[in-house]
Structure 1
């Protein structure tokens, strides 16, 4: 188990943010990823958090049972599988900076436009776009647990009911996390130290996930979408910052 107190100063708020995200405030969990990057390597941080995310997935699936849009999941999943494979094969070779910068910029523009626009017309889930954003979600999820922005760019314009949007996000990423599992196992990251650290953080993960569910259920549909768009802008800004750092530093 990791014993450095500095690790837990970063890990505890990161796990709380992940729990709130799994409870329904999609995207906010990605704001916790940079916290872990301050104290452990990105790969080790992803390995420690993946089992935590899977426990949180189980809680969220139970809370939003059958409240998901199957068509969206079926459209996104083939691309996500391709993206996960690409991420596993190329994570150590590809330059992520331009990708993060572009994805962050798109997320910020879309989030701001949606945040301040009135009476947005819902759009139907298109198959070509779903395959594209599925690849992007799978790739970014594999290399940095950052699959929420591509998913949101595809699903948010459909203006699904609050619980259906949350349930679809949870079900999609629950499947994605199980698909990612063999890759992290092959990378040799499920060490005794990492898994004992995960076990210590799981109780906090459970409590924070239920807190997220509780908060979402007390948020109106319109206010919920305003919050999600606002979080999308924050996440997009973080992606742009990460992209600029990777390109110029």
Structure 2
């Protein structure tokens, strides 16, 4: 462990943030969205692309917990509509993501998410029913989700808007989104490691050192989620998404 620590020139505060990241991933994957709070901070410590590579193995571990825990709550029809286009978005992000700066990308995604959230609030179920019936909605949101996930693990706000528009119950919302990210993140792993080279031996050693906290965060998160009513959960997801989108714009 000390050898791993010596490879990183972190302050005590930075170490606290890096270690806390694992705990936050666990909470996020339990159904309480908190990841966008920590992503910009980790990016400042490790750098944009390297921070994405550091986070991805932790996200996959969190995904495994989520799909096991919420395995009975999944809408396979929605995933079949969405995943092919999301994978296409990942491929776009792989080859052309370097043409857009981090700041420009975050601004574009943030604006799109805020517009979608505003429409959801303004039209509520009428918009949800309208969008869910349009074939192009699944294509556009899938591509945006895959692209933003590949660039910086920043697909959370977009996919929250998408799954909210499907009018899923709380557990089906969490379960379906968990499977979506599990599949997508598994596809990204070899691309990060062997094409972008932002999953390194040192970053993976760091992952191994802190990943048990994912289980602690997930254990706490699932118990909190149980006590959140359906309507309150939807409002909470909209609120956190607005905060996440504003964070992308900052």
- Shorter-chain TM band: 0.7 to 0.9
Q: Secondary structure at the match of 1:68?
A: coil
CA RMSD of aligned residues (A): 2.0
Instruction: Confirm or deny that 1:78 pairs with 2:87.
Output: no
Cα contact 1:82–1:135 (8 A) shared by 2: yes
TM-score by length of 2: 0.87
TM-score by length of 1: 0.88
Alpha-carbon spacing, 1:112–1:211, altered in 2? closer, same or farther (3 Å) = farther
Q: Secondary structure at the match of 1:159?
A: coil
> Which residue in the other structure is 2:148 paired with?
140
Alpha-carbon spacing, 1:77–1:119, altered in 2? closer, same or farther (3 Å) = closer
> Which residue in the other structure is 1:8 paired with?
15
Cα contact 2:24–2:214 (8 A) shared by 1: no
Higher normalized helix content (fraction of residues): 2
> How does 1:18-167 map onto structure 2 within 5 Å?
18-26=25-33, 28-111=34-117, 114=120, 120-121=125-126, 122-123=128-129, 124=132, 126-167=134-175
Quote the Cα distance in structure 1 between the aligned partners of 2:234 and 2:227: 13
How many angstroms does 1:222 deviate by?
Answer: 0.6
> Which residue in the other structure is 1:247 paired with?
none
Give ranges in structure 1 of 5+ residues lacking alignment. 242-249
**Residue from 184, 192, 202 that aligns with 2:211:** 202
Quote the Cα distance in structure 1 between the aligned partners of 2:99 and 2:123: 43
Alpha-carbon spacing, 1:71–1:125, altered in 2? closer, same or farther (3 Å) = farther
Quote the Cα distance in structure 1 between the aligned partners of 2:52 and 2:101: 18
Alpha-carbon spacing, 1:9–1:132, altered in 2? closer, same or farther (3 Å) = same
> How does 1:174-185 map onto structure 2 within 5 Å?
174-185=182-193
Give ranges in structure 2 of 5+ residues lacking alignment. none
> Which residue in the other structure is 1:17 paired with?
24
Q: Which runs of 4+ in 1 moved over 4 A?
A: 112-115
Equivalences, count: 239
Alpha-carbon spacing, 1:119–1:127, altered in 2? closer, same or farther (3 Å) = closer
Cα contact 2:27–2:214 (8 A) shared by 1: no
